[in-house]
């Protein structure tokens, strides 16, 4: 059972986390939701299309201009408060590795801290425990925030993913983060080359078997682009194919740009797996 905020999700209930970047230089939307009104419109659309979680980020993942903790907070805290006011039922996640930002967004109403950089700031888990919010524990291969992998190697990439994410999850639980609100994430592209990310996807069932809910952040990433030799804006089909495989292997939460398309993929996989009835079943009955 996954519990975030006031929501509970069954074991086989797929959950969509919609990305809203409060950055002027995000790799995919190039700042389309940097200003408040477009960002709020994006939230409204994502919720209407089936997103249960809105993931708000104030710093792009890749290298670029320095963003201080103060600036990251300026981009996210007030927006979190406004989303909470306008959409009281939606779950709010904030993509940050800094405990100072985590503290501020929890005060503003966040339900989940999405630590994409693998516990580089150990105090972030302490913040999650203090506020009783959820935490995403991600494998980043020991990479520092906003760096790209360079000649990274693993004897066994999934063994390393399990060692790191389970260690982070158990530490968070020991600190007091509710166990049912902790997720693990293989960290596609983070501290990994394309072959590593493909193997992590292929072996995702090993993460699912641990019993922790698994979050995947696949949307339009470089491993999809390199696999298909496609630029950023032409990676949707590859992303959705990877989403379908991840769903079949048991991932539960999907951090995405394309909400409506992801919803259809997840519903179709759930129906094939027998976890969801068809929306209509008329064929052959009349």
Cite the active site residues.
221, 255
Query: What are residue 138's DSSP bridge partners?
Result: 185
Q: How far apart are CA 6 and CA 18, in angstroms?
A: 18
């Amino acid at each position: 059972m996954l519990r975030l905020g006031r929501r509970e999700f069954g074991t086989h209930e797929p959950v969509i986390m919609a990305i809203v970047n409060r950055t002027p230089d995000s790799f995919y939307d190039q700042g389309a939701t940097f200003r408040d009104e477009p960002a709020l419109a994006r939230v409204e659309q994502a919720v209407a299309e089936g997103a249960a979680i809105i993931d708000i980020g104030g710093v792009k993942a890749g290298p670029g201009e320095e963003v201080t903790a103060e600036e990251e907070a300026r981009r996210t805290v007030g927006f979190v408060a406004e989303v909470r006011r306008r959409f009281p039922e939606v779950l709010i996640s904030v993509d940050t590795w800094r405990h100072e930002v985590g503290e501020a967004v929890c005060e503003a109403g966040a339900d989940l801290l999405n630590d994409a950089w693998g516990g580089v700031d150990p105090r972030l888990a302490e913040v999650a425990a203090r506020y009783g919010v959820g935490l995403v524990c991600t494998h980043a291969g020991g990479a520092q925030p906003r760096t790209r992998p360079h000649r990274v190697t693993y004897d066994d990439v999934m063994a390393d993913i399990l060692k790191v994410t389970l260690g982070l999850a158990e530490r968070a639980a020991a600190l007091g983060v509710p166990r049912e609100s902790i997720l693990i994430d293989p960290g596609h592209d983070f501290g990994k080359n394309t072959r590593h990310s493909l193997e992590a996807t292929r072996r995702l069932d090993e993460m699912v078997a641990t019993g922790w809910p698994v979050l995947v952040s696949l949307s339009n990433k470089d491993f999809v682009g390199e696999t298909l030799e496609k630029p950023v804006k032409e990676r949707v089909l590859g992303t959705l194919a990877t989403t379908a495989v991840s769903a079949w292997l048991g991932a539960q939460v999907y951090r995405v740009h394309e909400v409506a398309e992801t919803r259809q993929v997840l519903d179709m996989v759930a129906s094939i797996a027998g976890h969801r009835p068809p929306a209509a079943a008329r064929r052959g009955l009349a």
